[in-house]
Structure 1
Amino acid sequence: MQFFAHGVGGAKDLPIPAEYAIAGACAALAISFTVLALAWRAPRFNIGEQPKPAPPLLATIVDSTWFKLVARLWGFSFFLYVAVAGVFGKDLAINPIFGVFFVLLWVGIVPMSLAFGPFYKAISPVRSINWALAKVSGSDPDVGLFRFPDRLGYWPAALGLFAFVWFELVYPFNSELGPLRLWCAIYVGVMLIGGALFGNRFYERADPFEVFSTLVGHLSVWGRHEGRLVMRSPLANLDLMPVRPGLLAVGSVLLGSTAFDSFKGSNRWMIWSQTTDLNGNLVNLGGLVGFILVVGVLFAAATMLTGIHAGFRRTELPGEFAHSLIPIVVGYVVAHYLTYLVEYGQQTVILLSDPLSNGSNVLGTGDRAINYWLSYHPTFLAVTKVLGVIVGHVVAVVAAHDRAVRLLPKRHQLTGQLSMLVVMVGFTIGGLALLFSS
Structure 2
Amino acid sequence: LTSATRALSVVALAGVIAIGLAGRVIPTLANPLQNAAVLVVWVGWWAGYVATVYLVGNSWPALNPWRALADWLPSLERPYPDDLGAWPSVVGLLALVWLEVVSPLADQPYLLALVVLGYTAVTLAGAFVFGSETWFDRVDPIARVFRYYGAVAPIHRDEDGLQLRLPGSALTDPDLVDGRDEVAFVVALLWVTTYDGFVGTPVWRDLARAVVGAGVPAELLYPAAMLLGFGVFLGAYRLAARYARDTAETYLTSAALARRFAGSLLPIAAGYHLAHFLGYFVSLSPVLVGVLTNPLSPPANPVVIVLPGWFGGVSVAAVLLGHLLAVWVAHASAYDAFPGRLQAVRSQYPLVVVMVLYTMSSLWIVSAPNVVPPYV
Bin the TM-score by the shorter chain. Answer: 0.7 to 0.9
Secondary structure of 2:47's match? coil
Match of 2:284 among 335, 339, 344: 344
Post-superposition CA distance 1:393-421 (Å, at most 9, x none)? 11011111111222235252222210011
Secondary structure of 1:108's match? helix
Q: Distance in 1 between matches of 2:56 and 2:85?
A: 24
The equivalent residue for 1:214 is 147
Q: Distance in 1 between matches of 2:4 and 2:197?
A: 38
**What does 1:395-406 align with in structure 2 at a 5 Å threshold?**
395-406=325-336
The equivalent residue for 1:421 is 352
Post-superposition CA distance 1:249-277 (Å, at most 9, x none)? 22222222222222222222212312332
Secondary structure of 2:204's match? helix
The verdict on how the C-alpha distance between 1:354 and 1:338 changes in structure 2, with shifts beyond 3 A counting, is same
Q: Distance in 1 between matches of 2:143 and 2:301?
A: 31
The equivalent residue for 2:192 is 257
Give the Å deviation of 1:354.
Answer: 4.8
The equivalent residue for 2:40 is 100
Secondary structure of 2:24's match? coil
Q: Distance in 2 between matches of 1:185 and 1:173?
A: 13
**What does 1:321-336 align with in structure 2 at a 5 Å threshold?**
321-336=261-276
The verdict on how the C-alpha distance between 1:256 and 1:118 changes in structure 2, with shifts beyond 3 A counting, is same
The equivalent residue for 2:243 is 305
Give the Å deviation of 1:149.
Answer: 4.2
The equivalent residue for 1:18 is none
Secondary structure of 1:158's match? helix
**What does 1:191-230 align with in structure 2 at a 5 Å threshold?**
191-199=123-131, 200-226=133-159, 228-230=161-163
The equivalent residue for 2:372 is none
The equivalent residue for 1:288 is 226
Q: Distance in 1 between matches of 2:281 and 2:86?
A: 27
Letter in 2 for 1:336: H
Match of 2:8 among 74, 81, 105: 74
Q: Indicate yes or no: 2:180 matched with 1:180.
A: no
State the aligned residue count.
354
Q: Indicate yes or no: 2:236 matched with 1:236.
A: no
Q: Distance in 2 between matches of 1:290 and 1:102?
A: 26
Post-superposition CA distance 1:382-402 (Å, at most 9, x none)? 221111111101101111111
Secondary structure of 1:107's match? helix
Post-superposition CA distance 1:262-310 (Å, at most 9, x none)? 2222222212312332222322222222222221111121122212576
**Normalising by structure 1, what TM-score?**
0.74
Q: Distance in 2 between matches of 1:204 and 1:310?
A: 32
Secondary structure of 1:378's match? coil
Q: Distance in 1 between matches of 2:360 and 2:20?
A: 40
Q: Indicate yes or no: 2:214 matched with 1:271.
A: no
Structure 1 window deviating more from structure 2 (151-160 vs 68-77): it is: 151-160
Asked if 1 retains the 8 angstrom alpha-carbon contact of 2:18 and 2:113, the reply is no
Higher relative contact order (CA 8 A, sep 6+): 1
Match of 1:370 among 295, 303, 306: 303
Secondary structure of 1:305's match? helix
Q: Distance in 2 between matches of 1:211 and 1:332?
A: 18
The equivalent residue for 2:373 is none
The equivalent residue for 2:68 is 128
* Backbone CA RMSD of aligned residues: 2.6
Q: Distance in 1 between matches of 2:8 and 2:368?
A: 41
The verdict on how the C-alpha distance between 1:167 and 1:345 changes in structure 2, with shifts beyond 3 A counting, is farther
Q: Distance in 1 between matches of 2:20 and 2:126?
A: 24
The equivalent residue for 1:159 is 91
Give the Å deviation of 1:369.
Answer: 5.0
The equivalent residue for 1:433 is 364
Secondary structure of 1:90's match? coil
Q: Distance in 2 between matches of 1:368 and 1:312?
A: 61
Q: Distance in 2 between matches of 1:147 and 1:266?
A: 45
Secondary structure of 2:156's match? strand
The verdict on how the C-alpha distance between 1:300 and 1:227 changes in structure 2, with shifts beyond 3 A counting, is farther
The verdict on how the C-alpha distance between 1:242 and 1:273 changes in structure 2, with shifts beyond 3 A counting, is same
Between the aligned residues of both structures, percent identity stands at: 27
Give the Å deviation of 1:330.
Answer: 0.9
Give the Å deviation of 1:188.
Answer: 0.9
Q: Distance in 1 between matches of 2:301 and 2:58?
A: 31
Secondary structure of 1:106's match? helix
Secondary structure of 1:230's match? strand
Post-superposition CA distance 1:50-93 (Å, at most 9, x none)? xxxxxxxxxxxxxxxxx212321221121122121123333723
The equivalent residue for 2:314 is 384
Q: Distance in 1 between matches of 2:162 and 2:83?
A: 29
The verdict on how the C-alpha distance between 1:371 and 1:97 changes in structure 2, with shifts beyond 3 A counting, is closer
Letter in 2 for 1:334: L
Match of 2:49 among 109, 117, 120: 109
Q: Distance in 2 between matches of 1:253 and 1:103?
A: 22
Asked if 1 retains the 8 angstrom alpha-carbon contact of 2:276 and 2:366, the reply is yes
Structure 1 window deviating more from structure 2 (346-355 vs 334-343): it is: 346-355
- In structure 2, the gaps of 5 or more residues are 370-376
Match of 1:88 among 22, 25, 34: 22
The verdict on how the C-alpha distance between 1:316 and 1:102 changes in structure 2, with shifts beyond 3 A counting, is same
The verdict on how the C-alpha distance between 1:320 and 1:287 changes in structure 2, with shifts beyond 3 A counting, is same
- In structure 1, the gaps of 5 or more residues are 1-66
**Normalising by structure 2, what TM-score?**
0.85
Q: Distance in 2 between matches of 1:129 and 1:265?
A: 36
Q: Distance in 2 between matches of 1:419 and 1:110?
A: 30
Asked if 2 retains the 8 angstrom alpha-carbon contact of 1:195 and 1:202, the reply is yes
Give the Å deviation of 1:367.
Answer: 7.7
